[in-house]
Amino acid sequence: MTSLSPQNRTGAAARMATTPMLRLAVALAVLALALLAAAPLGWRLGGWSYGVSFVLMRWAGVGALAGAAAAAVALCTWRRLGGWRRAAAIVALLGSGIIFYMPWHYTLLAGASIHDITTDTDNPPAFVAVLPLREAAHAASAVYAGPRLAALQKKAYPDIAPLFLAMPRATAFADALAVATSMPRWTIVASDSAQGRIEATARTYWMGFADDVVIRVTDHGAGSRVDMRSLSRVGRGDFGTNAARIRAYFAALRAKAG
């Protein structure tokens, strides 16, 4: 009967001690991934409210963080881990970190409870064509909240401002409509060149929330002024989505206008 050397016995003991921690790390990473995938899927399919989805995302973050910690503990003995165990621990650590990023990112963006952003807080562009859609979806009121909301926006997003273009209103409106049509996940609801108004519905990438957009093009001296308003249909906060949407649209319009 062949006996193991002291060194081999130590290595075998280390592998046996590490295996449960490695299994825990992998299980937690898989659980966190399942929760993260279920969050938007359940909401999009009508299985539960968006509040439940955000709870699932928070638990996904907790599970991913715990999985990363378990994988790190397993890797502390990496010199004694076999090849496949070492690879599994590294994959669990990296996977947990990637999964953790999504809820952590949403937490960072939570900020103030603002869901209505506009470039003109004194006279925000009015919604018209999307109002029946909002009513059918039992959305939040589209009435602008006034000075209180304006003060919150100016503090959170001081860069959100009108866009001035050195071109006639008709040309600016044509460019504005072309850019709006090209924006990803936007659906044009109505456009009125006489009134200089464009309305659209935009969906967020991850959760698929429907937000409403109105763009207003007016004369400004020899050129034009473009104002925009982006309003969520659900929730009291938007994780910075509406402000980011205005920035992205204005950047694209600037590029087209040269």
> Six-digit token pair at 60?
């996904």
Which candidate, 242, 225, 241, places its Cα nearest to that of 166?
Answer: 225
Asked if 96 and 25 touch (Cβ cutoff 8 Å), the reply is yes
Cβ(228)–Cβ(248) below 8 Å: no
Q: What is the largest CA-CA distance in the chain?
A: 98
Q: Residue 213 pLDDT more than 90?
A: yes
Q: Which two tokens stand for residue 87?
A: 């690879």
Q: Is the pLDDT of residue 220 over 70?
A: yes
Specify the pTM.
Answer: 0.72
CA gyration radius, the chain: 26
For the domain made up of 116-257, give the CATH fold.
Alpha-D-Glucose-1,6-Bisphosphate; Chain A, domain 4 (3.30.530)
Q: Which two tokens stand for residue 105?
A: 């990112």
Q: Do residues 170 and 191 lie in contact, with contact meaning Cβ atoms separated by under 8 Å? A: no
The model's pLDDT over 67-112, given as tens digits with 9 standing for 90+, comes to 888 888 888 876 555 677 778 888 888 989 888 887 776 666 555 5
Q: Output the average pLDDT for the chain.
A: 85
Each residue's pLDDT tens digit, 7-25: 444 444 445 445 788 888 8
Confidence (pLDDT) at 1:
47
Q: What are phi and psi of 192, to 5 degrees?
A: -135, 100
- Identify which has the larger pLDDT, 10 or 207: 207
Secondary structure of 26-44 in HEC code, one letter for each residue: HHHHHHHHHHHHHHHHHHH
Long-range CB contacts for residues 190-194, cutoff 8 Å, separation at least 24: 190/128, 190/129, 190/130
- At 38, the pLDDT band (50, 70, 90 cuts) reads confident
d(C-alpha 37, C-alpha 99), whole Å: 10
Backbone angles phi, psi at 101, to 5 degrees: -60, -40
